[in-house]
Amino acid sequence: MRVSHDMIDPELRRRAQVLRRVLKSSRSEDDLRGSGPLPGFADRWLRARVPRGLIRHEERIARPDGSTLRVLVYRSATHRPDAPGLLWIHGGGYASGAAELEASAFTPLILGSGAVVVAPDYRLSTEAPYPAALDDCYHALRWLKEQAARLGVRSDQLVVGGGSAGGGLTAATTLYARDKAEVRIAFQMPIYPMIEDRGNTPSTLDNDAPVWDAGTNRSAWKLYLGDLYGTPDVPAYAAPARETDYAGLPPTMTYVGSIEAFRDETVHYVENLRAAGVPVEFREYPGAFHGFDMVAPKATVSRAAIAFRNQWFGYAVRTFFAPQN
C-alpha cells in the first residue's frame, strides 16, 4: 500500500514530513543493528527519568543459563495492595528499545488503577534472535506470578501489554502461557502488534508510510527470525499471525492505524480471536501511521486512541480475572 500525503490524518501530516526526513525509509538489517542499544546520553537520561507520581526500582532475575534479566518495577507513589500486575513489553521492531522507553505510555494505567508494572529489558534481536526475547518475556511473567505477594499484586489479575514488537511479544507470550498452562493471564493489550513475518498482506506490501515501512519490516523480521526467516518452520510463538487455534486466549484490546503496515495483520488477529469466542475491543484510526499515538500524542486521533486504551484498561481491571491454578 503506497501512502500519499492526503491519506494521512491532517493533524499528523507535519509530523509525517519530519519523520520521513529524519528516519531513513526501508532501513536495512545493518541500519537496525546500529539502532540496537541506545546512545549513551539517551540511555543515561532514560535511566534517570521516572514519571511524576511514580516510583521505580530495578531487579535482576536469574536465567536458566546463569545470566540475569534486568526488569524495572513501576508503581504509584501512593501504592495500594492487591493491585493488577501488568507486564509491559516495549516496542522497537524486536531490534531496539529499552525497558525505560515507554513509561509515559503506562503511567496513566498505573495512576488510574494502582497497577504495578514490570518492564523487562529483554534481549534484542541484535543480541540474539528468536526465541531469546520471548524466553525473557515469559520468564518475567513467571517471576511476576511468583513474586505477586511481595510486589503487592493480586495473582488473579496478571496482564500483558505493549505496542508494535511489544504487541507481538504480548501476543506471543500470552499464547505461550496458554499452552504451557503455568500462568493464567486475565487480559492482554497487544497494540498495533508486529505478528506477521510473511509480509504478504495488502497493507504491508509496498507500504511506505512514515516510521515503519515494508522494507524496514522485512529487515526486522530477518534479524528476529535468523535462519528461520523465509522458511515454513516459523512457529506461532515467533509470529503469532501463524497461529490457527485462538481458543482459550484472554480478553483482548487492540487498535491500529488505517495506513500502517500492521493494519491487516491486526484486523485478522482480531477476527480470529472473535471467531474463537474471545472478547475483543478493537478500534481502527483513519489516517494514522505506525506509532502515531507515541510520536504525536496531542493529535486528536492520538488522544482518542490513548483514551480508548486507558478507559478499556479501567474496565478490564474491574471485569476480568484469572485465578492461578
For the chain, the domains span: 5-319
**pLDDT value of residue 21:** 85
CATH entry 3.40.50.1820 includes domain 5-319: yes
48-84 pLDDT, tens per residue? Answer: 688 899 999 999 999 999 999 999 999 999 988 899 9
DSSP state of 122: P
155-164 pLDDT, tens per residue? Answer: 999 999 999 9
174-226 pLDDT, tens per residue? Answer: 999 999 999 999 999 999 999 999 999 999 999 999 999 999 999 999 999 99
Cα distances (Å, whole numbers) of residue 2 to 7, 135, 207, 214, 296? 10, 36, 5, 10, 21
Q: Where are the extended beta strands (E) located within 152-227?
A: 153-163, 187-191
pLDDT surpassing 70 at residue 38 = no
Does residue 187 sit in helix, strand or coil? strand
Q: pLDDT above 90 covers what percent of the chain? A: 90
**pLDDT value of residue 22:** 84
DSSP state of 80: -
Higher pLDDT, 50 or 168: 168
**pLDDT value of residue 23:** 82
**pLDDT value of residue 46:** 61
99-150 pLDDT, tens per residue? Answer: 998 999 999 999 999 999 999 999 999 999 999 999 999 999 999 999 999 9
Render 292-324 in DSSP notation, one character per residue.
Answer: HHHH-TTSHHHHHHHHHHHHHHHHHHHH-----
pLDDT surpassing 70 at residue 39 = no
Per-chain mean pLDDT for the chain: 94
Q: What is the mean pLDDT of residues 227-232?
A: 96
pLDDT surpassing 90 at residue 25 = no
